Amino acid sequence: MHSALAQQGIDAATKIRAAMQASLDQQKASVRKQAETAQTVATGTFFTIPWPDSDPIVQPPFENSKCDAMAEPQLASLIGEAAKREGLQPDLIRAVVQKESAGRPCAVSPMGAQGLMQIMPATATQLSLSDPFDPKQNIDAGAKFLKQLLTKYSGDLSLALGAYNAGSGRVDKEGGVPQNAETQNYVSDILKKLKQ
């Protein structure tokens, strides 16, 4: 019996390593692609990217022409199921999906966040998310994570969203929504979307 349990443990560890390796391979491929398309910047300049020649429309880092946004009926169904299971408003999950990935299931951020709800690899492991690019798994994990953050911050949506974007450690350290522009805009944009 002990050898059977030991074998199950070995099998589980092997599966976890394989899943992690697949995720790492996807991240490496994404980084290679980003490096190949990076723009060269003259040394000694103040800006890290060239000044735009035309309208200063900022494209989100997850824009990827090879990955279309999910069809609305399928996305709505997945969001509805996750919202019901976690006791969340579907509009909250939808707003996070739109802000994080614009509904693109293969989105990868420069920081390594993956999928529709841009789950970081460490968070994916914590939530037992085996395939961050599977829309159902990603939305389920993201909704579960949002619920955990709302519980941690006693239902304070601003703090939960701040932690979703910048991490709980940062929210705890600063005693509120982190004061960086990205997180402030993230929280503000989602809260405005929910009031519409």
Q: Which of 36, 100, 174, 182 is catalytic?
A: 100
CB 139 within 8 A of CB 155: no
Q: Decide if 86 is catalytic.
A: no
Q: Identify the three-state secondary structure at position 128.
A: coil
Furthest-apart CA pair in the chain: how many Å?
Answer: 69
All residues at 6 or more sequence positions from 113 whose CB lies less than 8 Å from its CB, including other chains: 100, 119, 120
All residues at 6 or more sequence positions from 87 whose CB lies less than 8 Å from its CB, including other chains: 147
All residues at 6 or more sequence positions from 164 whose CB lies less than 8 Å from its CB, including other chains: 96, 145, 146, 149
Take residue 145 and report the two structure tokens written for it. Answer: 């994570």
Instruction: Provide the annotated active-site residues.
Output: 100
